[in-house]
Amino acid sequence: MRAISFVSRLPSRSAWRRALLEWARTDGITWAFIFKALLTALIALWLAYRLQLPQPSTVLVTVFIVMQPQSGQVLAKSFYRIIGTLVGLSVMVLFIALFAQERILLLGSLAVWVGICTAGAARYRDFRGYAFLLAGYTASLIGLPATSHPENAFMQALWRVLEIGLGICCTGAVSAVVLPQTTRTVLRNTLSLRFRDFARMAHEGLSGALMREGFETLAARFAAESVGFESLRSASAFEDPHLRQRSGRLANLGSQFMQLNTRFHALNQLLTRIRQHPLLLDAITPCLTEITSLLIPFGERLTTENDAARLAEKLALHREPLMQQIRESRGQLQEKQVSDSDLLDFNTAAELLYRFAEDLYSYCLAYATLNGPRPSKTPPPESFTPVANPMAAAISGVRSALVVLVLGLFWIETSWPSGDTCALAAVLISALSSTSPNPRRYCLQLAVGTLAGSLAGFFLVFWVLPQLDGFPLLFYALSPVFAIGAFFITRPQWAGYGTGLMVWFCSAALPANVTLYDANTFFNQYLSYLLAAFIAAVAAAVIMPPNRPWLWGRLEQDLRMRVVYAISGKLKGLASGFDSSTRDLLNQAYVLSTGHTAVQRQLLRWMFLSLEIGHAIIELRYEQENLPLHPCYQESRPWRQAIRIMGRALIRLFVQPSPKHMERALSAVDHAIETAQTAQIHQEPNSGQFERSPLRRVCSYLHFIRTSLLDPNSPLSKHNRGFTQTRSTRLDEL
């Protein structure tokens, strides 16, 4: 009986299966990565010894830098690492040919090149940035030893390319064959989770249950996921022919989601204002119900392509009832003789709601056909437009160049045997930390990892390795350090410790083909690594660190300048470029201001305002671009001239916010609304039909711009005190 009771208490088979699947999705991925890292290190190190390469450490350093959880990311990093290596090799051979006779000139040219490459890595922050990073590091790997022995530079360059190539090939092969973590799976999970959370947010927002704090948190998360999604999409092209053929569709899907998110935010902002007017709320609620009822099931489970297809079908069926409900609600408001400003609020909200339903339908349709055959009518692929502050990138480059120059001069003046190693370590540390939101903290993590590696290396080199014989025992002794380093690399908050441990342990403690047990060389090498990390940390803390107010202010200005881009940029691809660049800027600013809640909230408010006004302006420009041929739509008409004047006033406001520019912008918007309403009433054909009246839609966009400028939660609210009531009264008189 006791045995039966004990067995009955055990979990069921389905419970064991669920627990195993949950472990495989979480900790199992970490253990799989550690296993693949050890297997890759085993194969690469054995081949390096077997082929008698001069520096097997370079092979393993390449392995641990390139190694990533997803095979697509490994292949992408490998591809760009090869490009960066070849470019760095070519440039350094040219520098040696020009300046081999003069060490100072060679060192100066190397410092300038490293600065340019570091600035490029900080500018792009993706796989192209990784190519920049490797171009600078490879040039230093070849050029610094060549300052003492330029006659060996060419052979050293060939050996380095062979060693790096071997590490890349081993990493790519193991990652793609052994327990592959494909990018396709990650992309599918990202799409499902993102749409589920968006459907839940949209339902709560349209129902009035969405809190502002929760909305801001989701907005920041969606911005980060948009950047991450683009990175995954780029990596998937190297891994999977199926995804490579659908890369354009994936790009359009990411662009459509950003547009859908922007549309919902604009609608939610206006609904927040409408909920303060019971009459308008009663009129718009039946229209909202047409959409909210469809979103409830999709916010409760992960969405598949079939779910997206069903939602697209339902949205297509609800299109005409939604338009009919909008007409009925507008007619009821007109019978009650509401003010012009209230009617404009309703018309703008109705227009945004209908556009939101259309954008949601387009997104679901694209999602549903993602894995199917290519549709007959496929829009051209949209491009993700990353943006970085040029001064921040330039400062990263100058910082790295100064570190390399100072340590290089110190080496030349003191004739320190490990001076070239110190300068080379500084190049790698500066390049790795250039993409970190907190370079000083990352450099200190590298220093701690290096110190741990020195202790482990000293113990292994002078107590363990002399007692071993043969490659199996050697790898068995090295495996614990490799496993610990790989584990730290899988944890983003500890990645610096893992990188410092693995890179410098392999560089100094790994025995070469001709092993030398020289304590003096060993201690000098690790001293050079620690000094390089310390100098890089000091430079990152002193020379305009990026996680400080000077950069927050510039990123805030860059967010404001997105509105200028929406007004003056080329119309082709403007919407996707505007959405992606704005979210990329917010993601950078949000990461760089971690721990400063007030700063993050202010940056979010600027992003919301820039998205609201910028998107309305882009829609307004598209509307004017597609106007029918009629005399009242000609460019010389007063309402079109008023819109151009409004654009110039908005540019002045967002370039330099001030009460004076705010007053001019509001006056320009009011004037544009007045002239557009006059043209609509007296000149436009079909002015009584909302869906066929371009000028009514123009008035809706203009009114939304005005509403956004006067939003009390807007960062411009401090500039519009005393104007809100005056403008509302004037609008009622129009």
State the average pLDDT for the chain: 80
Does one domain contain both 174 and 218?
no
Using CA atoms, how far apart are residues 586 and 225, in angstroms rounded to an integer? 12
Residue 572: DSSP 8-state? T
- Convert the pLDDT of each residue in 281-315 to its tens digit: 888 888 888 788 888 777 777 777 788 888 888 88
Using CA atoms, how far apart are residues 529 and 508, in angstroms rounded to an integer? 10
Alpha carbons within 13 A on the beta-carbon side of 433: 38
Contacts 24+ apart (CB under 8 A), 557-561: 558/387, 558/389, 558/585, 559/585, 559/586, 559/589, 559/603, 559/606, 559/607, 559/610, 560/606, 560/610, 560/654, 560/655, 560/657, 561/654, 561/655
| Between 696 and 673, the higher pLDDT residue | 673
Q: Which amino acid belongs to residue 136?
A: G
679 CB-near residues (< 8 Å, 6+ apart) = 632, 637, 638, 639, 695
Does one domain contain both 607 and 635?
no
The total domain count for the chain is 4
Q: How confident is the model at residue 80 (pLDDT cuts 50, 70, 90)?
A: confident
Does one domain contain both 688 and 614?
no
Is the dihedral angle over the CA atoms 351, 209, 591, 257 positive or is it negative? negative
Domain boundary among 583, 610, 626: 626
pLDDT higher than 70, residue 376: no
Nearest to 435 by CA among 86, 64, 117, 37: 117
pLDDT higher than 90, residue 726: no
Residue 651: per-residue pLDDT = 92
Using CA atoms, how far apart are residues 466 and 480, in angstroms rounded to an integer? 18
pTM, two decimals, is 0.80
Does one domain contain both 275 and 363?
yes
Nearest to 296 by CA among 431, 196, 169, 410: 196
Does one domain contain both 474 and 415?
yes
- Convert the pLDDT of each residue in 11-58 to its tens digit: 666 666 766 766 666 677 788 888 888 898 889 989 998 888 888 888
Nearest to 723 by CA among 654, 669, 673: 669
- Convert the pLDDT of each residue in 619-642 to its tens digit: 888 888 887 777 777 777 888 898
Cβ-contact 582, 559 below 8 angstroms: yes
Nearest to 283 by CA among 367, 369, 220, 346: 346
79 CB-near residues (< 8 Å, 6+ apart) = 127, 238
Does one domain contain both 202 and 350?
yes
| Within a domain: 515 | yes
Residue 310: per-residue pLDDT = 86
Instruction: Give the Cβ contact number of residue 343 at 10 Å.
Output: 17
Paired tokens of 604: 């979010």
| Within a domain: 458 | yes
Using CA atoms, how far apart are residues 476 and 474, in angstroms rounded to an integer? 5
Alpha helices in 632-658 (DSSP H): 638-655
Cα 175 from chain centre: 24
Residue 410: per-residue pLDDT = 84
| Within a domain: 11 | no
DSSP 558-571: HHHHHHHHHHHS-S
Residue 242: per-residue pLDDT = 67
Highest mean pLDDT among 36-40, 172-176, 349-353: 36-40
Domain boundary among 368, 403, 429: 368
C-alpha triplet 540, 546, 549: angle, nearest 5°: 125
Nearest to 546 by CA among 416, 389, 651, 432: 389
Does one domain contain both 106 and 151?
yes
Residue 576: is it exposed, middle or buried by C-beta count within 10 angstroms (0-12/13-18/19+)? buried
CATH number at residue 188: 1.20.58
pLDDT higher than 90, residue 652: yes
Using CA atoms, how far apart are residues 447 and 429, in angstroms rounded to an integer? 10
Does one domain contain both 176 and 187?
no
Q: How confident is the model at residue 159 (pLDDT cuts 50, 70, 90)?
A: confident
Does one domain contain both 583 and 606?
yes
Does one domain contain both 162 and 188?
no
Residue 26: per-residue pLDDT = 66
Mean per-residue pLDDT, 247-266: 81
Q: Which helix (H) or strand (E) holds 418?
A: none
| Within a domain: 208 | yes
| Between 246 and 327, the higher pLDDT residue | 327
CATH number at residue 731: 1.20.120
| Within a domain: 469 | yes
C-alpha triplet 313, 319, 320: angle, nearest 5°: 125
| Within a domain: 381 | no
Residue 649: per-residue pLDDT = 92
User: In Å, how far are 47, 394, 559 from 391, measured between CA atoms?
Assistant: 44, 5, 15
Mean per-residue pLDDT, 473-481: 87
Using CA atoms, how far apart are residues 346 and 275, in angstroms rounded to an integer? 11
Domain span including residue 308: 183-239+247-368
Using CA atoms, how far apart are residues 521 and 416, in angstroms rounded to an integer? 11
Does one domain contain both 193 and 301?
yes
Does one domain contain both 334 and 407?
no
Is the dihedral angle over the CA atoms 579, 582, 583, 584 positive or is it negative? positive
Domain boundary among 626, 647, 681: 626
Lowest mean pLDDT across 205-214, 408-417, 469-478, 522-531:
205-214
| Within a domain: 7 | no
Q: Which amino acid belongs to residue 270?
A: L
Mean per-residue pLDDT, 546-574: 85
Using CA atoms, how far apart are residues 66 and 53, in angstroms rounded to an integer? 20
Residue 348: per-residue pLDDT = 81
Residue 651: is it exposed, middle or buried by C-beta count within 10 angstroms (0-12/13-18/19+)? middle
Highest mean pLDDT among 12-16, 210-214, 341-345: 341-345
Paired tokens of 432: 């790795």
Residue 730: per-residue pLDDT = 37
Using CA atoms, how far apart are residues 629 and 621, in angstroms rounded to an integer? 16
Cα 374 from chain centre: 28
Instruction: Give the Cβ contact number of residue 148 at 10 Å.
Output: 13
Residue 731: per-residue pLDDT = 36
Using CA atoms, how far apart are residues 131 and 78, in angstroms rounded to an integer? 9
Residue 634: per-residue pLDDT = 78
Cβ-contact 160, 138 below 8 angstroms: yes
Residue 585: is it exposed, middle or buried by C-beta count within 10 angstroms (0-12/13-18/19+)? buried
- Report the SS3 class of residue 337: coil
Paired tokens of 502: 């693995």
| Between 341 and 395, the higher pLDDT residue | 395
Polymer length of the chain: 734
Q: Which amino acid belongs to residue 98?
A: L
Q: How confident is the model at residue 650 (pLDDT cuts 50, 70, 90)?
A: very high
Paired tokens of 450: 């290096």
Q: How confident is the model at residue 646 (pLDDT cuts 50, 70, 90)?
A: very high
User: In Å, how far are 85, 89, 106, 399, 405 from 113, measured between CA atoms?
Assistant: 14, 12, 11, 12, 11
pLDDT higher than 50, residue 1: no
pLDDT higher than 50, residue 728: no
Q: How confident is the model at residue 553 (pLDDT cuts 50, 70, 90)?
A: confident
| Within a domain: 731 | yes
Using CA atoms, how far apart are residues 586 and 603, in angstroms rounded to an integer? 7
pLDDT higher than 80, residue 365: yes
Q: Which amino acid belongs to residue 235?
A: A
Cβ-contact 676, 698 below 8 angstroms: yes
pLDDT higher than 60, residue 454: yes
pLDDT higher than 80, residue 499: yes
